[in-house]
């Protein structure tokens, strides 16, 4: 789609988004001042914006929120999925308002500023979302300057020069660099996050961190597992030295084929030991690659907390949370891998199970942060299978 002539800068505009085709979208900047370049995507969730922005799977991306009132419940220190937010910034329709929630510790725009993330409000997010749906997720630049001074020519050059997510191994960049144990459980209104709730006698799960969300770890603990997290670059020998009863492959950002260059050989060795294995999102894609399937870049991806998935064994429909721009090509699955779930939006593969190994995976996020809780049973299924 060809870009229209750049509109004149409106009076009072302190933020701008520039796409690689030269399109210019003006608005009001909030959060941190600066410039960031990445892939522009959209998310349809109505709540959970802190969880979304702090999800490591969003590394290298600028999020367009389709729900207009983002930020109206403020921000707190609990609803985050990683030590640092990973999305580059966000685009919203309405200006961020004062917080109206008893759990709020600060305004959302102040939280964005504190973490160096750029926001742009006053944008026709419906039109931008439609553009992404029709033409795919473009590369773009988001910029905020309180004085309203922007070098559009330079911003266009940055957007055009960014190589895109295909071929990027971001997992090894954002993964933990040190092994650690995790024993916090799920959050409750009365007590916050449960502490030291892991089962000391429970099965030992080694979770490989390709961009791990904290609530995934909490659900593993709640299901009765002892959990040790290891870096994405951990070797087979380092993992086996921990004597795992099961292996978890985490979510994460970037191109699975690029991450697979170092991850797949390790996963294949683990599969050959027939250690039970469970993968989510990027972990699902890496499992597919490990058994010989291929992955592909989606046009617009799936991002939101309302995605219907059909469970093939009984026809049950689960409403799920999703965040992915790549998918396993179901046509390339080997005969030893059977589809278990499919997206009801477009029929893409949403889950698989190996018939000759104790391994399964799903493309969506069953840990419900943010999102529905229809699929939390998968954690119980995995951990229960380690003691069967």
Q: Give CB contacts under 8 A, 24+ apart, made by 10-15.
A: 12/148, 13/148, 14/144, 14/145, 14/146, 14/147, 14/148, 15/118, 15/119, 15/120, 15/121, 15/142, 15/143, 15/144, 15/145
166 is a catalytic site residue: no
Tokens for 183? 């024993």
| 353 counts as catalytic | no
Asked if 266 and 235 touch (Cβ cutoff 8 Å), the reply is yes
75, HSE (Cβ side, Cα atoms, 13 Å): 24
Respond yes or no: is residue 367 known to be catalytic.
Answer: yes
Q: For the chain, how many residues are written?
A: 388
* Residue with token string 């109505």: 46
- From 39, 51, 318, 367, the catalytic residue: 367
How would you class 297 by CB atoms within 10 Å of its CB: exposed for 0-12, middle for 13-18, buried for 19 or more? Answer: middle
Secondary element (H or E) of residue 306: strand 295-311
Catalytic residue (one of 302, 307, 341, 365): 365
Residue for token pair 């033409």: 135
Q: What is the 3-state secondary structure (H, E, C) of 177-211?
A: CCCEEECCCCEECCCEECCCCCCCCCCEEEEEECC
Distance of CA 134 to the CA centre of its chain: 22
Q: Which of 144, 281, 302, 307 is catalytic?
A: 281
Distance CA 184, CA 182 (A): 6
Residues involved in catalysis: 281, 365, 367
């Amino acid at each position: 789609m060809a870009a229209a002539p750049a509109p004149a800068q409106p009076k009072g505009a302190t933020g701008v988004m520039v796409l690689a085709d030269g399109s210019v979208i003006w608005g009001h900047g909030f959060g941190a001042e600066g410039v960031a370049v990445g892939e522009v995507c959209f998310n349809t969730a109505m709540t959970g914006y802190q969880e979304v922005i702090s999800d490591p799977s969003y590394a290298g991306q600028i999020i367009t929120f389709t729900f207009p009132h983002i930020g109206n419940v403020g921000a707190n220190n609990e609803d985050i999925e990683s030590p640092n937010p990973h999305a580059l910034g966000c685009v919203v329709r309405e200006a961020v308002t004062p917080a109206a929630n008893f759990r709020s510790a600060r305004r959302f725009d102040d939280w964005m500023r504190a973490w160096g993330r750029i926001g742009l409000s006053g944008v026709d997010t419906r039109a931008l979302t439609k553009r992404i749906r029709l033409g795919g997720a473009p590369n773009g630049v988001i910029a905020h300057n309180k004085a309203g001074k922007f070098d559009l020519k330079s911003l266009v050059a940055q957007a055009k020069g960014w190589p895109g997510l295909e071929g990027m191994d971001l997992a090894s960049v954002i993964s933990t660099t040190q092994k650690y144990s995790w024993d916090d459980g799920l959050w409750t209104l009365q007590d916050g996050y449960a502490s030291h709730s892991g089962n000391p006698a429970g099965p030992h799960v080694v979770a490989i961190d390709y961009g791990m969300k904290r609530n995934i770890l909490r659900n593993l603990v709640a299901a009765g597992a002892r959990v040790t997290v290891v870096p994405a670059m951990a070797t087979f020998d380092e993992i086996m030295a921990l004597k795992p009863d099961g292996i978890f492959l985490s979510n994460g950002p970037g191109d699975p084929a690029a991450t697979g260059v170092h991850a797949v050989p390790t996963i294949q060795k683990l599969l050959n030991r027939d250690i039970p294995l469970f993968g989510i999102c990027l972990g699902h894609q890496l499992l597919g690659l490990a058994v010989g399937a291929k992955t592909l870049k989606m046009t617009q991806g799936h991002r939101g907390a309302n995605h219907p998935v059909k469970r093939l064994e009984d026809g049950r429909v689960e409403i799920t949370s999703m965040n992915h721009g790549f998918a396993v090509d179901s046509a390339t699955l080997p005969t030893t891998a059977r589809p278990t779930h499919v997206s009801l939006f477009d029929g893409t593969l949403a889950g698989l199970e190996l018939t000759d190994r104790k391994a399964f995976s799903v493309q969506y996020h069953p840990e419900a942060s943010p999102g529905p809780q229809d699929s939390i049973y998968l954690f119980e299924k995995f951990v229960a299978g380690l003691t069967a």
